[in-house]
Structure 1
Amino acid sequence: MSAQPQSRARRLAWAALLLFAAVLYPVVLIATVMKGESGFVAVEVLVSAVLTVLVGALLLRNPLPVQGILLFAWTFALVQMQNEAIGGLQALITGIGVGYIAATRRPRISIPVAVVTFAVQAGSVFAFLSANDVLLMTLVLGIIVTWMAGNSVRVRRVHAERLREQATAQAVADERLRIARELHDMVAHSIGIIAIQAGVGGRVIDTQPAEARNALDAIEATSRDTLAGLRRMLTALRKDDPGTAPLGPAPGLGDLDGLAEATKEAGVRVGIRTKGELRALPPDVDLSAYRIVQEAVTNVVRHADTDECRVTVDYGDGELAVEIEDDGHGGVVGAGYGIVGMRERVTLLRGEFTAGPRPGGGFRVAVRIPLEAAAR
């Protein structure tokens, strides 16, 4: 027999046992009470206790019918015995049922159950015991306390579930923003280079075939790099699939030379200067710094109307500083999503970001990222 049929058989056997206990419970309980002081009462009390535990287990699955069974069994036992101990057990056990129902059901269900349970408790006590105001207040407080305790558990659980749902939704939104930034940085830079190279090739294809061929080579190389980056991103999105392996590492500051070479083909020379001691950076810092340089250089190619720009990377003791400057006509802060995306990246890493025209002309993007905060 396979594991699944065995598990199903066990569940059916357990359900049958619990249902049998629920049906047998009132009979055994009433028989135990009616025996009184006979010699078999100890055994029957033990059987009643075991059945009480089994019925309590059934309460976890079917609380409303089981609450009715508990009320019937203990009320009938109180009618037969008319004993204060039986009355106390009736209030205690049925009160526990009210608390569990309040913890697992909405108030529109649990409140009527609590009212009916209290009415049965109070009616049976007044009818068959020497009831007084103190006993009545005890029953009232008991049912209120048990209901409030159960309902507070339900409220906390619902609140926790809502917080988890909000956290999940926020995580999804953050991931979508991250993917959007990655796609924008990757595609905007590459398409900008391709568009410029295509324009150059189109203008010189008849007069300078060699230059046109170089432009087509640059377009091919840029297209292949972009395709590889997109495949890496899609692979990352499918990383939960078994057997899926990443197709390549994410880019970082170590890839700036390749970025400069591709940008040179688009007509802009990128001068790269490094300060401080080169060292490994946290992956998110390394990727974000590269994307910021990539976006800033793309803006130079597309908007600055200049043939060169400067990139400075400073590996400080506790921070990474990146600066991109040009002497062109400058850009417009806030236009498009490039500046916004760079600012978001730096903000997520608890860094500082500035972008704007330079006093002597051109445009400047400056970033400072604290490495300690990024590591945490």
Structure 2
Amino acid sequence: MRIDRTRLHDTLLAVVVAGVSVALFVLYGPDRLQAEGIAVDGMRAPDSFGAVLVVLACVPVALRRRWPLSALCATVVPETLLAVFGYGAGISCLAGLVLLYSVASYRGLAVALGGLLVSLVTYTLGAVAGPARVASWSEHVVVAVVLVAVWGAGRSLRLRRAYLEELKDRAARLERAHAADTRAARAEERSRIARELHDVVAHHVSVMTVQAAAARRVLAADPDLAREALSAIEHTGRLAMTEMRNIVGVLRTDSRADARAELGPQPGVRDLPLLAEQMREAGLSTRLQAEGEPRPLPAGVDLAAYRLVQEGLTNSLRHAGAGAKAVVTVRYEPHELDVRVEDDGVGAAGLSTRSGHGLVGIRERVALYGGILSIGPLPGGGFEVRARFPLKDGQ
């Protein structure tokens, strides 16, 4: 449809150019030129044959976009015949100007220069072959300037069109790059949320499972102790739901709410005493000790340290065995934060059972902040999860 409309427009333009050219051919005959004081020497009066030649010179305008240079060359024969038969040079110059503009606008520089040369040669041949009137050098210069100006206008349009196409292509590339960045950011965010959810669910569900087992064992013998265990389960469940709601809420809020969610309070080293108390209630004897002078930590390192302790204690609760003890050590050094979780449980025998998705996620967290993670059994028995986070500028 687009090609058909283009051909239709060019055909209509050819009809208009032919009509105007024939009208000028009829109106500006030798009598009219003499009446205006223009010297005419042997110029032939307009007739039907000359009008046909004028129309033939305008017909190629209909092909100006598809074959512009060929159409321009096709006008050379009728224009030369008009000059040879004495009708005067430049009778059909309007069609030549349109085709010269089309060549400059729709073809490369080499072809465009060839079109300009064809136009100049055609005018020169017409002026030499049919000297119907003596033209001054100034008139020839004006015609040459007009031809060059029309050619320059066509080249300017082509360059502008190419510039706009480049802008569109650049905008499309930027849009594709932005879409790729958005997909990568979303994938990273999904990975982060998956790690957060795993840490929250694994820890709280493990605590609730241990407490439920304890409540079941003492339900008949000591209902009050069972009631305390059930209350602890309820409290742990509420904590889990609150953390999960804060994490998943990011997925269904707008951008400003996302920013508020990202800036919202996250658990950190300051919350380790509450975590240790929760683990003691679940049946894991947990001791928390701090070494060095505590100081504010970067938010990412603070959260990663908390999640590491949470995952380490959760694994100790699951795998260390009954009566095991855990020690959490947070050491503040000048340029490093050392976080260590140790237990005296199963030890090397439980190494294969302690390498789950949670520890893999902790490894990713520690690597994200340039830390060093070591996980494995202790020489004298037990298991250790340790991470060292580098701190910059005294943080």
Deviation per CA, 1:276-328, whole angstroms, max 9, x where unpaired?
22222222211111111100100000001143111111222222221111111
Query: Does residue 1:169 correspond to 2:157, yes or no?
Result: no
**Corresponding residue for residue 356 of structure 1:** 376
Q: Which residue of 1 aligns with 2:230?
A: 216
State the partner residue of 2:128.
none
Aligned residues: 290
Give 2:355's match in structure 1, choosing from 335, 355, 358.
Answer: 335
Partner residue in 2 for 1:178: 192
1:326 to 329, 339, 343: 343
Letter in 2 for 1:185: D
Q: What's the CA shift for 1:351? A: 1.4
Deviation digits for residues 257-279 of structure 1 (CA, Å, limit 9, x no counterpart): 11111100111122111122222
The equivalences for 1:27-176 within 5 A come to: 71=65, 80-81=92-93, 89-95=101-107, 130=121, 159-176=173-190
1:188-199 equivalences in 2 (<5 Å): 188-199=202-213
Matches of 1:268 and 1:361, distance apart in 2: 17
Letter in 2 for 1:166: A
Alpha-carbon distance in structure 2 between the residues aligned to 1:345 and 1:225: 22
Report the secondary structure of 1:372's partner residue: coil
Deviation at 1:209, TM superposition (A): 1.5
Structure-2 separation of matches of 1:93 and 1:351? 62
Q: What is aligned with 1:232?
A: 246
Pair 1:189–1:128, CA change in 2 (3 A): same
Matched-pair identity in %: 38
CA distance in 2, matches of 1:203, 1:359: 34
The 1:124–1:92 alpha-carbon spacing in structure 2 relative to 1, beyond 3 Å, is: closer
Q: Does 1:277 align with 2:296?
A: no
What SS class does the counterpart of residue 314 from structure 1 fall into?
Answer: strand
Letter in 2 for 1:318: H
Q: Structure 1 residues 70 and 313 mapped into 2: Cα distance closer, same or farther (>3 Å)?
A: farther
- On the 8 A contact 1:70/1:93 being kept in 2, the answer is no
Change (3 A) 1:82 1:338: same
| Offset from partner CA, 1:100-138 (integer Å, 9 cap, x none) | xxxxxxxxxxxxxxxxx96xx69966875549xxxxxxx
Q: Could you tell me which residue of structure 1 aligns to residue 133 of structure 2? A: none
Query: What is residue 320 of structure 2 aligned with on the other side?
Result: 304
| Structure 1 residue 88 displacement after superposition | 6.5
Structure 2 counterpart of 1:260: 276
Counterpart of 2:310 in structure 1 is 294
List alignment gaps of at least 5 residues for structure 1.
1-19, 39-67, 99-116, 132-141
Aligned partner of 1:371 in structure 2 is: 391
Structure 1 equivalent of residue 42 of structure 2: none
Specify the code of the residue in structure 2 equivalent to 1:94: Y
Q: TM-score, normalised by structure 1?
A: 0.63
Which moved further from structure 2: 320-329 or 80-89?
A: 80-89
CA separation in 1, counterparts of 2:356 and 2:367?
A: 18
- Deviation, 1:371, is 2.7
Structure 1 residues 315 and 88: CA distance shift in structure 2, 3 A:
farther
**Contact kept in structure 1, 2:215 and 2:230, CA below 8 Å:** yes
Cα offset, 1:239, TM superposition: 3.9
Equivalent pair of 1:270/1:308 in contact (CA under 8 Å) = yes
Give 1:313's match in structure 2, choosing from 330, 335, 346. Answer: 330
* Post-superposition offset of 1:24: 8.9
Contact kept, 8 Å, 2:377 with 2:383, in 1: the verdict is yes
Distance 1:291 1:69 in 2: 74
CA contact (8 A) 1:313 1:323 kept: yes
Q: Please, which runs of 5 or more residues in structure 2 have no aligned partner?
A: 1-8, 29-61, 76-91, 123-154
Equivalent-residue separation in structure 2 for 1:93 and 1:340 (angstroms): 63
TM-score (norm 2): 0.60
**Relative to 1, partners in 2 of residues 1:27 and 1:319: Cα closer, same or farther, differing over 3 Å?**
farther
Alpha-carbon distance in structure 2 between the residues aligned to 1:199 and 1:299: 17
Cα separation, 1, equivalents of 2:118 and 2:332: 86
Residues 242 and 335 of structure 1: CA distance in aligned 2, closer, same or farther (over 3 Å): closer
Local SS of the residue matching 1:328: coil
Query: Displacement of 1:241 after TM fit?
Result: 6.4
Residue 280 of structure 1 aligns with an amino acid whose one-letter code is P
| Alpha-carbon distance in structure 2 between the residues aligned to 1:151 and 1:220 | 64
Is the Cα–Cα contact under 8 Å of residues 96 and 119 in structure 2 kept in the other structure? Answer: no
SS in 2 for 1:355: strand
Contact 1:285–1:374 (8 Å) recurs in 2: no
Aligned to 1:60: none
1:223 alignment partner, SS class: helix
Give the distance between the partners of 1:269 and 1:348, measured in 2 at CA.
31
